[in-house]
């Protein structure tokens, strides 16, 4: 949802809401904008909801000297010239919602590029505070900035901060309050353009001024009209009901001004001249306030890049890093997993006694304990440890700035597949959760390539499937427990991931040559400076945002699913349970794919969340086999082997886990993102068919060769 | 093509060039301009990706990777 005056209930006064002053937070991506936001608001923001194509923003509040402030976190953007949805949203907020103050967060290590945005915002409003963040990074890179000179040149307050350490935030709040109270309105810097642009603006501006409200900068609107920015016209319609292009006098003036500009500038376009002037101004300012040999400052980054993205080592290092990640996860998760299982099954015994002591009927005891509780216990003990280890490690790489390097390394393959290099970033998100990965596909501008990324995101195993893979790899393919075993399991998991990437590329290629024909679009990927990750923040973020979120979702789904399974196991028709009937029906199909009917059933019942596939399977087997205490992996292995599992079964289950229909949440998200039943159906069918074909081929080949 | 100008993707790793011509139009041009690739901007070639494309460039204090498809449309004059 757009935050509009209506929706926030504004009294209409500039920048004021009944419950506080509106402060907008703008900035390039990767400047620590969200850290500033979280530090100021104490993490009390509503997380942005993503409806449709609208990019929503987080809002939070803080109090300073008895006044309430509402902080609005605008999407990160490099520019306000509206070449992407994020930029349009940010521009519209600053332009039409009239925040009392706009704080622009800039990266101290990359001032020139960041000033571009500052200068553009200054053209719209003078109520700006510049927050030069990441001063510690700059210091480490031996970049020295003269902030008071910057403030003098820009004519607005400039505050230096290290938001991660909480440094400078008090001064930032002070500057915001002073600008909001109107005490600090000096002459802010306005860019002077080359003569042809200035003449064209002079010709246009009087006509524009008559048509727009006084609180909108007519010079800025004139520049946009010269620039031919059609998105502004759309926004003017939406926010102000003004139809500039329907005004014939103005349209004539625009044509006249454009013609003048073209003649005076020797054929250059307005947009070139405007952008060039802004950048030249930024360059000039940056040079005046920065003291550093920039090349020297970035040496460490360059060295790291030379290793991490080098011709010989780039891809091997990437695989090795991923391998180490998995290895630590597999070895580290084993012990806590057993401990948790023991604890949770001990509780099961007690719970059982209590329920029986109350005189509850056996069916109720069965449904609650063997149904709901046991499934929950399994989900928690199997999933929690690997997630609690994997996510912080992955967040570490993310914070370090490594993921864009992965996209850089792999872009060539994606280009060949007719897809976008940024698809890699959406796949990385998919490691956490495919639904999040699908939403992340918005970073791809071309609709065709975005659709490809959405349709193939499921080929990255999310963490709901990740524990299944880890458990099976450890049991069946790792061999004996211990160092060599976990190493083998790591290699298997790594193989599964590489396979997932290869399937993604093949399917992307097929899509871009059939139903989504086309060539790859522009690719410009920023490789941000490496940052020293903050361990405390990583632990908190990965645990709260990811581990707890995913686990709670799994638990919510697992509880009712446990009940359904218990019912299916215990509702008998004749001698057989409903589950047995279903499994028998699916048995031939399962066998074709190297699995059995119960496994197929588990995948079907796991539709709400992939996390519960293994627990469902255990419940189904336990209902037919001997009941036992599933304390550790050895016993799970025994149970599976008793039910006819071989290494081939494990391989096929892993393959099918990688390649099958997305979970319910992901499909709903795909539907919301594509707004099309057709594409949602395609997203369901592609991985399912891929899985069926791959499992069939693997199972039949192995049997034919007498390997299993 | 003017004298002495070479497409950006041909500029060897480790060398620099000054933007002289951008032969792209429309939205892609806008994107390039927003990255700071304006007339007479100095660009340094940092390194190629493992498969040789895309290439990382140092543009106005930031590192940006471009595919040769786009970089070939940007003509630069080599800087010593």
- What pLDDT digit, counting tens, does each position of A173-185 carry? 999 999 988 776 6
Question: What ipTM is given for this predicted complex?
Answer: 0.94
User: What is the band of A697 on the pLDDT scale with cuts at 50, 70, 90?
Assistant: very high
Same domain, A136 and A229: no
pLDDT at position A480 is: 59
Cα of B54 to nearest chain A Cα, Å: 7
Domain topology for B6-79: SH3 type barrels. (2.30.30)
Q: Which residues of B touch A283 (CB under 8 A)?
A: 60
Quick one: pLDDT at residue A516?
Answer: 87
Q: What is the DSSP letter of A646?
A: -
Residues A556, A456 share a domain = yes
Cis before B54? omega within 30: yes
Task: Give the pLDDT of residue A129.
Answer: 96
How many structural domains does chain A have? 3
Please check whether residue A135 is in contact with residue A160, taking contact to mean a CB–CB distance below 8 angstroms: yes
**pLDDT over 60 at A540, yes or no:** yes
pLDDT at residue number A53: 32
* Co-location of A370 and A452 in the same domain: yes
Q: Could you give the count of Cα atoms lying within 13 Å of A424 in the half-sphere of its Cβ?
A: 23
Asked if A306 lies within 8 A of B70 by C-beta distance, the reply is no
Q: What is the pLDDT of residue A559?
A: 82
pLDDT bucket at A293, cuts 50 / 70 / 90: low
pLDDT digits over A41-92, tens only? 876 443 333 322 335 567 888 999 989 999 988 888 888 876 677 788 888 8
- Answer whether residue A639 is part of any domain: yes
Alpha carbons A551 and A432: distance in angstroms, whole number: 12
Q: Pick the residue with more confidence: A3 or A435?
A: A435
| pLDDT band, residue A10 (cuts 50/70/90) | very low
Q: Are residues A608 and A531 in the same domain?
A: yes
Q: Write down the pLDDT at residue A320.
A: 93
pLDDT reported for residue B65: 94
Distance between CA A524 and CA A520 in Å, rounded?
12
Question: Are A60 and A153 in the same domain?
Answer: yes
pLDDT of the residue at A560: 84
Structural domain includes residue A309: no
Average pLDDT over residues A7-17: 46
- Taking CA–CA distances from A316, the nearest residue in chain B reads B50
- Provide φ and ψ at A117, rounded to 5°: -70, -40
What local confidence, expressed as pLDDT, does residue A454 receive?
96
Could you report the per-residue pLDDT of A367-407, keeping only the tens digit for each?
Answer: 888 788 887 887 788 778 877 888 888 888 888 889 899 99
Residue A608 has pLDDT above 70, yes or no: yes
**A249 and A343 fall within a common domain:** no
Query: What pLDDT shows up at residue A584?
Result: 92
Mark whether A284 and A326 lie in a shared domain: no
Q: What is the rounded distance in angstroms from the CA atom of residue A317 to the CA atom of residue A328?
A: 16
pLDDT at residue A248 is higher than 60: yes
Whether the predicted pLDDT of A483 surpasses 60: yes
Is the pLDDT at A589 greater than 80? The verdict is yes
What's the pLDDT tens digit per position in A318-342? 999 999 988 888 888 878 877 888 8
CB contact B14 to A (< 8 Å): no
What is the rounded distance in angstroms from the CA atom of residue A20 to the CA atom of residue A62?
Answer: 9
Residue A4's pLDDT band, with cuts at 50, 70 and 90, is: very low
Q: Compare all CA atoms of chain A with the CA of B13 and give the residue at the minimum distance.
A: A306
What pLDDT is attached to residue A6?
36
Q: Inform me whether the pLDDT recorded for A680 exceeds 80.
A: yes
Tell me: pLDDT of A27 over 70: yes
Measured between CB atoms, does B35 come within 8 Å of chain A? yes
CA distance linking residue A472 with residue A477, whole number of Å: 7
- For residue A524, being part of any structural domain is answered with yes
- Here the CATH number for the domain that contains residue A34 is 3.40.50.300
How confident is the model over A249-266, as pLDDT tens digits?
A: 888 888 898 888 888 888
Tell me if A511 is assigned to some domain: yes
Domain of residue A35, residue span: 5-180
Distance CA A208, CA A201 (A): 10
CATH number of the domain enclosing A227 = 1.10.287.1770
Quick check: helix, strand or coil at residue A56?
coil
Mean residue pLDDT across chain A: 84
Q: Tell whether B73 is within 8 A of chain A (Cβ).
A: no
Q: Does A613 reside within a domain?
A: yes
* Residue among B49, B50, B62 minimizing CB distance to A526: B62
Q: At A234, is the pLDDT very low, low, confident or very high (cuts 50, 70, 90)?
A: confident
State whether residue A584 is helix, strand or coil: helix
Q: Is the pLDDT of residue A549 over 70?
A: yes
> Does A302 reside within a domain?
no
Query: Residue A168 above 90 pLDDT?
Result: yes
Give A481 or A198, the one with higher predicted confidence: A198
* Burial (0-12, 13-18, 19+ Cβ within 10 Å), B2: exposed
- Strand B6-7 with A576-577, pairing: unpaired
**Cα B24 to Cα B1: distance, rounded to the nearest angstrom:** 14
SS (H, E, C) A277-346: HHHHHHHHHHHHHEECCHHHHCHHHHHHHHHHCCCCCHHHHHHHHHHHHHHHHHHHHHHHHHHHHHHHHH
Q: Considering the domain boundaries, does residue A186 fall inside one?
A: no
Residues of chain B with pLDDT under 70: 1-3
Do A274 and A363 belong to one domain? no
Give the pLDDT confidence of A636-679 residue by residue, as tens digits. Answer: 888 888 889 999 999 999 999 999 999 888 899 899 889 999 99
User: What's the CA angle centered on A310, arms A305 and A316, to 5 degrees?
Assistant: 110
Q: Does B15 touch chain A (CB under 8 A)?
A: no
**Mean pLDDT score, A553-560:** 78
C-beta atoms of A412 and B53 within 8 A? yes
Task: Please list every residue in chain A whose beta carbon sits closer than 8 Å to the beta carbon of residue B33.
Answer: 271-272, 275-276
For chain B, state the CA radius of gyration.
11
User: CB neighbours of A701 closer than 8 A, spacing ≥ 6?
Assistant: none
Domain ranges of chain B: 6-79
The pLDDT of residue A543: 76
Percent of chain A past pLDDT 90, that is, above it, reads: 32
What confidence tier does A632 reach under pLDDT thresholds 50, 70, 90?
low
How far apart are the C-alpha atoms of A547 and A540, rounded to whole Å? 10
Q: Are residues A518 and A659 in the same domain?
A: yes
- Looking at residue A624, its pLDDT comes to 54
Identify the domain boundary among A260, A294, A328. Answer: A294
Interchain contact B16–A (C-beta under 8 A):
no
Read off the pLDDT of each residue in A219-243 and give the average, rounded to a whole number: 84
Domain-terminating residue out of A116, A150, A180: A180
Mean pLDDT of A29-37: 83
Element (H, E) at A672: helix A664-674
Q: Give tens-digit pLDDT for A496-521.
A: 999 999 999 999 999 999 988 877 67
In Å, what is the CA distance from A91 to each residue of A4, A79, A241, A243, A481? 14, 9, 17, 18, 57
Mean pLDDT of A155-182: 91
Give the pLDDT band of residue A14 (cuts 50, 70, 90): low
| Nearest chain B residue (CA) to A87 | B34
Asked if B60 reaches chain A (Cβ–Cβ under 8 Å), the answer is: yes
Pair A123, A237 in one domain:
no
Among A125, A157, A180, the domain boundary falls at A180
Same domain, A170 and A225: no
From residue A398, give the alpha-carbon distance in Å to each of A428, A520, B16.
Answer: 9, 26, 30
Does residue A69 come out as left (phi exceeding 0), alpha (psi in the -120 to 50 range) or beta?
A: beta
Per-residue model confidence (pLDDT) at position A26: 93
Tell me, yes or no, whether A41 lies in a domain: yes
Q: What is the pLDDT of residue A152?
A: 93
Residue A502 sits at the vertex; the CA angle it makes with A496 and A508, to the nearest 5 degrees, is 135
Residues A516, A552, single domain; the answer is yes
Size of interface A-B (CB pairs under 8 A): 124
- pLDDT category at A488 given cuts 50, 70, 90 is confident
B61: chain A residues, CB-CB within 8 Å: 109-113, 286, 294
pLDDT number for residue A13: 42
pLDDT recorded at residue A17? 66
Decide if A523 and B54 are in contact by the 8 Å CB cutoff: yes
Cβ atoms < 10 Å from Cβ of A575: 6
């Amino acid at each position: 949802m757009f935050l509009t005056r209506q929706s926030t209930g504004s009294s209409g006064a500039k920048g004021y809401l009944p419950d506080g002053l509106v402060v907008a937070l703008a900035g390039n991506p990767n400047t620590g904008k969200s850290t500033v936001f979280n530090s100021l608001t104490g993490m009390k923001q509503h997380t942005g909801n993503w409806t449709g194509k609208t990019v929503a923003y987080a809002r939070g509040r803080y109090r300073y000297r008895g006044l309430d402030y509402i902080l609005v976190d605008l999407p990160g953007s490099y520019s306000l010239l509206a070449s992407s949805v994020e930029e349009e949203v940010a521009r519209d907020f600053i332009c039409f919602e009239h925040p009392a103050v706009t704080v622009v967060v800039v990266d101290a290590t990359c001032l020139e590029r960041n000033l571009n945005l500052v200068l553009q915002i200054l053209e719209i409003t003078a109520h700006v505070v510049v927050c030069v963040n990441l001063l510690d990074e700059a210091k480490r890179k031996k970049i020295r900035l003269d902030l008071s000179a910057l403030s003098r040149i820009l004519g607005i307050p400039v505050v230096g901060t290290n938001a991660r350490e909480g440094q400078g935030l008090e001064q930032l709040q002070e500057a915001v309050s002073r600008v909001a109270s109107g005490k600090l309105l000096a002459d802010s810097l306005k860019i002077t353009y080359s003569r042809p642009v200035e003449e064209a603006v002079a010709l246009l501006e009087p006509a524009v001024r008559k048509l727009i409200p006084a609180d909108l900068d007519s010079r800025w609107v004139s520049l946009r009209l010269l620039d031919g920015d059609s998105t502004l016209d759309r926004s003017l319609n939406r926010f102000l009901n003004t139809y500039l292009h329907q005004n014939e006098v103005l349209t004539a003036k625009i044509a006249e001004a454009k013609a003048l500009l073209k003649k005076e500038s020797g054929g250059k376009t307005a947009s070139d001249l405007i952008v060039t002037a802004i950048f030249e101004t930024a360059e000039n300012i940056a040079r005046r306030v920065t003291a550093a040999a920039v090349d020297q400052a970035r040496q460490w980054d360059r060295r790291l890049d030379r290793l991490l993205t080098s011709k010989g080592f780039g891809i091997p290092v990437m695989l090795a890093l991923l391998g180490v990640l998995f290895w630590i996860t597999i070895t580290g998760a084993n012990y806590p997993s057993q401990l948790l299982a023991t604890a949770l099954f001990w509780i099961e015994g007690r719970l059982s006694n209590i329920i029986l002591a109350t005189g509850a009927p056996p069916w109720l005891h069965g449904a609650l304990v063997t149904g709901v509780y046991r499934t929950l216990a399994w989900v928690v003990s199997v999933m929690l440890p690997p997630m609690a280890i994997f996510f912080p490690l992955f967040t570490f790489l993310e914070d370090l700035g490594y993921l864009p390097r992965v996209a850089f390394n792999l872009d060539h393959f994606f280009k060949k597949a007719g897809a976008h290099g940024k698809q890699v970033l959406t796949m990385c998100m998919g490691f956490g959760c495919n639904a999040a990965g699908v939403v992340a596909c918005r970073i791809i501008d071309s609709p065709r390539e975005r659709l490809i990324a959405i349709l193939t995101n499921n080929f990255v195993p999310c963490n709901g499937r990740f524990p299944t893979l880890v458990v099976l790899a450890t049991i069946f393919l790792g061999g004996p427990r211990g160092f060599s075993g976990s190493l083998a399991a790591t290699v298997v998991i790594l193989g599964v991931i590489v396979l997932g990437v290869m399937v993604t590329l093949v399917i992307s290629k097929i899509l871009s040559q059939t139903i989504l024909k086309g060539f790859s679009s522009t690719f410009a990927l920023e490789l941000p400076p490496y940052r020293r990750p903050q361990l405390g923040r990583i632990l908190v973020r990965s645990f709260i945002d990811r581990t707890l979120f995913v686990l709670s979702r799994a638990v919510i789904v697992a509880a009712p699913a446990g009940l359904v399974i218990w019912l299916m196991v215990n509702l008998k028709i004749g001698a057989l349970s409903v589950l047995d009937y279903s499994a028998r029906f699916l048995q031939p199909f399962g066998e074709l794919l190297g699995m059995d009917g119960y496994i197929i059933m588990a995948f079907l019942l796991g539709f709400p969340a992939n996390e519960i596939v293994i627990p469902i399977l255990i419940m189904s087997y336990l209902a037919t086999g001997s009941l036992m205490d599933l304390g550790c992996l050895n016993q799970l292995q025994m149970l599976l082997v008793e039910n006819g599992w071989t290494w081939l079964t494990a391989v096929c289950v892993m393959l099918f886990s990688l390649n099958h229909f997305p979970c319910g949440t992901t499909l709903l998200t795909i539907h919301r993102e594509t707004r099309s039943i057709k594409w949602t159906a395609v997203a369901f069918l592609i991985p399912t068919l891929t899985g069926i074909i791959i499992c069939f081929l693997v199972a039949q080949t192995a049997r034919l060769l007498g390997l299993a | 093509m003017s004298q002495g100008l070479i497409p950006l993707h041909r500029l060897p790793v480790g060398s620099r060039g000054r933007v002289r011509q951008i032969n792209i139009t429309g939205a892609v041009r806008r994107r390039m301009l927003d990255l700071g690739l304006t007339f007479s901007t100095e660009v340094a070639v940092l390194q190629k990706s493992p498969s040789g494309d895309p290439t990382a460039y140092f543009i106005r204090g930031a590192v940006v990777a471009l595919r040769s498809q786009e970089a070939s449309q940007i003509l630069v004059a080599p800087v010593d």
